[in-house]
Chain A
């Protein structure tokens, strides 16, 4: 199908090349999982892999996190701006600088350029959330930093491998600056070796289809995704949805942060406008623009055909406005280390605006307090320890036609929890409870998922504890008459004379035998609880998920512990409320 100087797109060849590229990205992911060291990579699966064209536009991705995808192109752009044409076969470019296109310091972006002769064809990319990048607090998630300089080692665009040779100087600098250096450097080796292995496969694809065709279809795949996205958006009703969600406080004692979203669909394009959002804060929860854009686009995708290839074509159709100096587009040298939390609120606010526009398609807020915990210490005569885990989400919100499933995964933050037994086998921590909290799911015609509790007891003399969470004042919202989920709480040493309520975000010390109890919020409900099917309420009381008292007071349903609904009594009770 080659005509004078141009190629006409062939749907068969496009699909074949797309499959081949996605396979390569998948294989990179598999290789990282098999060889990485840290809990945050192998259990949380906090990493992404993709393929970009020579202009730093994403072409294909493997199973990845939406939060990484928005920054992949910009982080490569940052490298290209620095190196210009000084890139050669066998290099691996590396960047973790949020002010050079990356996301936060722990996310280390690496790119392998692919050349045919002297011609640059594209880049393979792997991003890993590394367990520690140095800085004043282990794990790099401190919400109360005030400058990026406090947050750890900032790696501007550099080559971590040059012409096939590892940059041992850089690796030594990293090794010297990070905690748990074996783990971090081990994960970096895994990241590099996966990129090198993937190059071989990418070369086979070039051999099979020819350089010209691969270049052409890498660009055509982006156009193709753009066309599909435009068609999908054109099928949505035109209009505007507005929504506000809040972060309780900025991590440095500041006021609540307002996230304001105005989402407009017009014809085959959409616009997500954050004008009206609070200014940047002094704390470290500011998401940068790349992160906010990536997450906003991810929410948009949930109402479109999920088979649309995930690439730069999508970005061309959905415009995201983030005024400079506002919370979602902070100016240098704002710290961004704990921006993961704000990323959730960005998703929640965009999703809320989308629900205003598409009430019969989008559900209430996902549950959880964006809980993240670091316990670290240097016990005498033993190896230092660092236990890091994220438990951002507790379950999904009630939707237009069904409940939010208890313990249901949230695709837009596809991070696994960490097995209790792995935590206990690898660190001086005992988890004493991990369970649902009854009566915490937002009530509604379709209720939100239950909140949950996790308790940690320290088994070493002393540890530094760094905790990040939220949603104690502004719980996950309900929609259209549905109630919010129960708010979160952090309690130290419950049931003892040392019991005290702790703030949602803090850095402190924990002593041997002390226990931290984290209560994480449930998800929001959808529609009035008085319209909920009494049989569904009774089933929840039977399973101990809703108390008999709440069934009565919130749902207007008369039931008992055995879970039998008294229909006549319910009807009378609900009639009296109406």
Chain B
């Protein structure tokens, strides 16, 4: 098939920890991919290089690119590398230290060496002003503007260019914050100001201050990055809008994202989940669990009835933690809505080690990209999960990144043997044990999004992405009693593809702290109407006509005092007493479904209102079919593969993904492709579908 006949193309670019992944998608669904090393400190450089090469390889002109969508780790990188702008904070008198006091939670009970991250604004740059708002929004004390002049002078003296403003109870009424911002902006026209009530007006002063400070800290860096990337794209001749993926799964113009970087912390991982959601929707599969296994971590998320769950808070900058979604205190909290993704320190690079009582541990320490697993032959000697997978025959010594990276089996054996000797077991037993323990760590993430909420994984299909997702997929599915595993095309760079399936989406969020029986429908209607107007305005700014706007209204509710909320969908911004009554019934039903009980005589309370404005594109985001335009050919044949003590070593056929058909083929089979390998265990079959997904099914026993 020639590509010339396709007139327009879309580009998705995702920057991960080590690599920059690029996917080019034609109107008819042809996929071209490119993977190259990222280029810190200016990440836009690798993008320019990679895009230019890919366009040349495929032979199309930059003018044929109609969309450029980007998933970026700029926020996390800025935090981890401490490359943000020195910031100052203005807060309510009496609360100068909120940002540094934090929440007094340690991620580990017995590790007395733990220190939390230092505050983003140092104490001398945290200023108090006289003002006060009550919890119900009443202004108890107007802002004393006279106190702002000395603060402005201090900001000038300290050379501060980015400022955060966060007042107590401003989630309830941001009037004083806005006045302070306006005054300071007039006085210091070049100052970049992030104001909590405008950024994300949610309750909890430390979390909101942290969110606002983080925004101020990253914003100048994000703005420079987006400008630099825009310049490079323009230089390449790509003239379409630069769009960025947000943590909640919608895309927004680069300029909007750069001003509110707290919304794009989990940009890349969100793209993977959105991609999985949209693609499985096209397949008619509504319930899936997405597992994304990379080199250092495994991430899991749940899609139910075609929808993913949104968490209302996350953390950024903490060290990779083992299996605990509950740990608080390791990083900076961010109150931005984020696709609910559980993460554990388990991936291909996870290191296996024996403790003093002959216990075998895998991870969370990782060999990373440098030195990498022992078999990479770059100086690493520790046994890793990838070394075990090589010995077990799951991955080929020559199959990684289409053979561009070859693996040294001797090094892997030496590393695994040192573990095996220590534990007085066979090499293959040790290797298989490492594989299984890595799996059991990954299951903690999968459990985190399913069983924790009373879901039964066997009712879901497993959607395996990331370089190692399809290596571990069928065993994970076996252990979780799941019956189907889907490995999408370009699974090793899937987030870059997922970017292209997302819609433009704006979120407007307001705290609305009220018992249901105390709600004044007129007040709620007014609040929602204003929010809907704002969402519509943002969509209109992006060029969407009225009939291309999809508006959704969600009220987050809970029993009075609960920590987490359940979303109640409202049909319109017009609220009547009936609406409230319906919310009450729906809440009870939802609580029963989610947590196994409802509690009729407890009070139900609204906590926040959310309006999602989605811009509908003229073309479907997911093409009618997908094909991979890469002529990677595996060295087909057979090799011995180990499937545990029940099966032992089996002489297993190895085939290229391109040679799979819609005709199911029984395992064991190894399917190899450019960026990944699928292990089809005995008792499973494998086929491809019209979207070029590899579909593995458990055979009836």
Q: Do A and B bind each other?
A: yes
- Residues on A lying within 8 angstroms of B by beta carbon are 11-12, 14-16, 19-20, 22-23, 26-27, 29-31, 33-39, 42-43, 45, 63-66, 182-183, 186, 189-190, 193, 196-197, 200-201, 204, 208, 224, 227-228, 231-232, 298, 301-302, 304-307, 362-363, 393, 396, 399, 405-412, 414-417, 419-422, 424-426, 430, 432-436, 452, 455, 542-545
Bound-state Cα–Cα, A224 to B95, Å = 48
Confirm or deny: B454 has a beta carbon within 8 angstroms of a beta carbon on chain A.
yes
Cross-chain contact A224 with B359 (CB below 8 angstroms):
yes
- B110 near A411 with CB under 8 A, answer yes
Given A409-B329, A434-B98, A452-B97, the answer on whether A414 and B357 have CB atoms closer than 8 Å is: no
B100 and A406 contact, CB distance less than 8 A? yes
A435 to chain B, nearest CB (A): 4
Contacts of A415 in B (CB 8 A): 104
User: How distant is the Cα of A577 from the Cα of B104 in the complex, in angstroms?
Assistant: 38
**Interface residues, chain B, with chain A CB atoms under 8 Å away:** 94-98, 100-106, 108-112, 114-116, 122-124, 134-135, 168-169, 171, 203-207, 323-329, 354-362, 423, 429, 432-433, 436-437, 440-441, 443-444, 447-448, 451-454, 479, 481, 513, 559-564, 595-597, 599, 601-603
Q: Is the CB of A11 within 8 A of B95?
A: no
CA distance A227 to B355 in the complex (A): 11
Q: Give 8 A-B pairs besides A183-B561, A305-B356 with Cβ atoms closer than 8 angstroms.
A: A30-B452, A33-B563, A37-B602, A189-B597, A306-B108, A408-B115, A408-B116, A419-B206
Residue pair B479, A416 in contact (C-beta under 8 Å): no
Contact A11 B360 (CB under 8 A): yes
Q: A410-B106, A414-B109, A544-B123 are in contact. Are A186 and B599 (CB under 8 A)?
A: yes
Closest A residue to B434 using CB positions: A12
Contacts of B432 in A (CB 8 A): 12
Counting residue pairs across A and B whose Cβ atoms lie within 8 Å, the total is: 237
Find the residue from B103, B357, B454 having the highest chain A CB count within 10 A.
B357
Q: How far is the CA of A503 from the CA of B607 in the complex (A)?
A: 38
B203 touches A19 (CB 8 A): no
* A298 to B112 Cα, complex, angstroms: 11
Interface centre among B106, B115, B563, B601 (most CB of A within 10 A): B563
Instruction: Give every chain B residue within 8 A of A22 (Cβ-Cβ).
Output: 323, 444
B563 touches A416 (CB 8 A): no
A-B CB contact pairs (8 Å), 13 listed: A12-B429, A19-B437, A27-B451, A37-B562, A45-B105, A186-B602, A200-B451, A208-B479, A231-B356, A414-B105, A419-B203, A434-B98, A435-B95
Q: Which of A190, A407, A434 contacts B94 (CB 8 A)?
A: A434
Residues from chain B with Cβ under 8 Å of A16 in the complex:
436-437, 440
Contact partner of B451 (CB less than 8 A), chosen from A182, A201, A301, is A201
CA distance A300 to B597 in the complex (A): 41
Q: Say whether chain B's binding surface is mostly helix, strand, loop, or mixed.
A: loop
CB distance from B246 to the nearest CB of A (A): 24
Chain A nearest Cβ from B379, distance in angstroms:
26
From residue A29, how far is it (CB to closest CB) to chain B in Å?
Answer: 6
CA distance A14 to B171 in the complex (A): 49
Cross-chain contact A421 with B203 (CB below 8 angstroms): yes
A416 touches B328 (CB 8 A): yes
Of chain B, the residue at the smallest CB distance from A303 is: B112
Residues of chain B within 8 A of A421, CB atoms compared? 135, 168-169, 171, 203-205
When distances are taken between beta carbons in the complex, the residues of chain A under 8 Å from B100 are 406-407, 436
Q: Is the CB of B110 within 8 A of A15?
A: no
A42 to B440, CA, bound (A): 28
Question: Which residue on A lies nearest to B603, using beta carbons?
Answer: A182
Residues of A within 8 A of B327 (CB): 63
Say yes or no: B451 contacts A405, CB within 8 Å: no
Q: Which of A14, A30, A298 has the most CB of B within 10 A?
A: A30
A411-B108, A421-B169 known; A416+B444 contact, CB < 8 A: no
- Asked whether A419 and B205 contact (CB < 8 A) given A30-B448, A407-B102, the answer is yes
A197 to B423, CA, bound (A): 36
Task: State A422–B563 Cα separation when bound (angstroms).
Answer: 11
* Distance in Å: Cβ of B284 to nearest Cβ of chain A: 28
Q: Which of B116, B324, B452, B562 is within 8 Å of A409, CB to CB?
A: B116
